[in-house]
Amino acid sequence: MIRVIMHGCNGKMGQVISNLLKEDQEAEIVAGVDVSDHIQNEYPVFKNIAECDIEADVIIDFASVKAIEDLLNYSIEKQVPVVVCTTGLTEEQLAKIKKASEEVAVLRSANMSLGINMLMKLLQTAAQVLVPAGFDIEIVEKHHKLKLDAPSGTAIALADSINDSLDQRYDYQYDRSRELKRREKNEIGIQAVRGGTIVGEHEVIFAGIDEVIEFKHTAYTKAIFGKGAIQAAKFLAGKPAGFYDMSHVIEGNVQLNKT
Ligand SMILES: NC(=O)c1ccc[n+]([C@@H]2O[C@H](COP(=O)([O-])OP(=O)(O)OC[C@H]3O[C@@H](n4cnc5c(N)ncnc54)[C@H](O)[C@@H]3O)[C@@H](O)[C@H]2O)c1
Ligand SMILES: O=C(O)C1=N[C@H](C(=O)O)CCC1
């Protein structure tokens, strides 16, 4: 059995994963970490990861940007690989994650779903054909009203994936309300909508002269993120230090299915 520490166990995603792992034959939660104690769990829960004295093979993190430094310190000190799913991280925190991966296995992904990770690859192909033909790129994301960060980590990851295929030539425009001017050619507009219980929608719009191509991903339940995070945790347990993402997990599964 792979022993998991669930970081952010009493949040929405922490509880999705707690329920999924109850039925899992290969992995189990041995401890949780959460500042909130409004839920009774079948495993011990610590207020801060530094207090956790339970041995584990991997950590799954869906918590808060405020907890990232303690999480990385623990992961390095105890040599427990960590799957970082929390979004809204600063550039400085992202750099700390990369640095930590020199000492322990770290997998970070702003979106654990298969669909979004496949979409990133499709967008690179689309951008390479459509951008030279003069198409503009805009991203619109929609999420529930409880979400703290905006734009979503996924929207930024989709833009980054496009930008990687365009030699990093594009800047991101988050707010068009401040200046009276036309959009620049080399920008990707990113807009966030918040309301109700929307689980997650991402639309990537390639707008050309007289034609528009739209790629859309809709998450109908949070289980798609939970299942992806569990797959990632099983993949990462026992891995040597290094920086991993969901493409490694998906490629690993494709190889397994071939054999
Ligand atoms: N990568 C993905 O696929 C993906 C999918 C969904 C959500 N997310 C991200 O995961 C994070 C959590 O999402 P959620 O919907 O479960 O949020 P949530 O607010 O429901 O849960 C977060 C939990 O973390 C706890 N927490 C806050 N500060 C903490 C700290 N310092 N130490 C330990 N626990 C702490 C909170 O008490 C809460 O129970 C967000 O950043 C969200 O954007 C990522
Ligand atoms: O519900 C959330 O919060 C989500 N956050 C991630 C993001 O910011 O992209 C993934 C989708 C759901």
Whether ligand 2 lies within 6 angstroms of the CB of 117 is answered as no
Does residue 25 sit in the same domain as residue 123? Answer: no
Say whether 7 is catalytic. no
Domain harbouring 195, CATH code: 3.30.360.10
Q: Judge if 162 and 210 occupy the same domain.
A: yes
Q: What is the pLDDT confidence band of residue 251, given thresholds at 50, 70 and 90?
A: confident
Identify which of 154, 160, 199, 201 to mutate to test ligand 2's pocket (most ligand atoms within 8 A of the CB): 154
Residue 154 annotated as binding site: yes
Pocket probe for ligand 1: among 60, 64, 68, the residue whose CB has the most ligand atoms within 8 Å is 64
ipTM of this complex prediction, to 2 decimal places: 0.99
Q: Are residues 82 and 156 in the same domain?
A: no
Same structural domain, 101 and 160: no
Mean pLDDT to the nearest integer, 188-210: 98
Q: Is 112 annotated as a binding residue?
A: yes
Question: Which atom of ligand 1 is the closest one to the Cα of 88?
Answer: 41
Judged by phi (left if over 0) then psi (alpha if -120 to 50, else beta), residue 63 lies in alpha
Whether residues 126 and 173 fall in one domain: yes
Q: Quick check: 244 and 233 in contact, CB under 8 A?
A: no
- The ligand placed nearest to the CA atom of residue 49 is 1
Residues 46 and 130 in one domain: no
Per-residue pLDDT band for 259 (boundaries 50, 70, 90) equals low
Same domain, 6 and 30: yes
Ligand 1 site residues (CB inside 6 A) read: 8, 10-14, 33-36, 62-64, 66-67, 85-88, 109-112, 149, 225
Quote the ligand 1 centre to 7 CA distance (angstroms). Answer: 8
CA-to-CA distance for 24 and 30, rounded, in angstroms? Answer: 13
Residue 105: give its domain's CATH number.
3.40.50.720
**Co-location of 230 and 168 in the same domain:** no
Question: Taking 90 as the threshold, does the pLDDT of residue 83 lie above it?
Answer: yes
The pLDDT score that the predictor gives to residue 258 is: 60
Range of the domain at 251: 2-111+222-258
Task: Based on the fold, state whether residues 98 and 143 are members of the same structural domain.
Answer: no
Q: What is the mean pLDDT of the chain?
A: 96
**pTM for this prediction:** 0.95
* CA 58 to ligand 2 centroid distance, Å: 21
234 flagged as catalytic: no
Query: How many domains is the chain partitioned into structurally?
Result: 2
- pLDDT tens per residue, range 120-174: 999 999 999 999 999 999 999 999 999 999 999 999 999 999 999 999 999 999 9
Q: Which ligand is nearest to the CA of 200?
A: 2
Residues 142 and 205 in one domain: yes
Q: Considering only CA atoms, which residue is closest to atom 21 of ligand 1? A: 11
Which ligand has the minimum distance to the alpha carbon of residue 11? 1
107 and 160 part of one domain: no
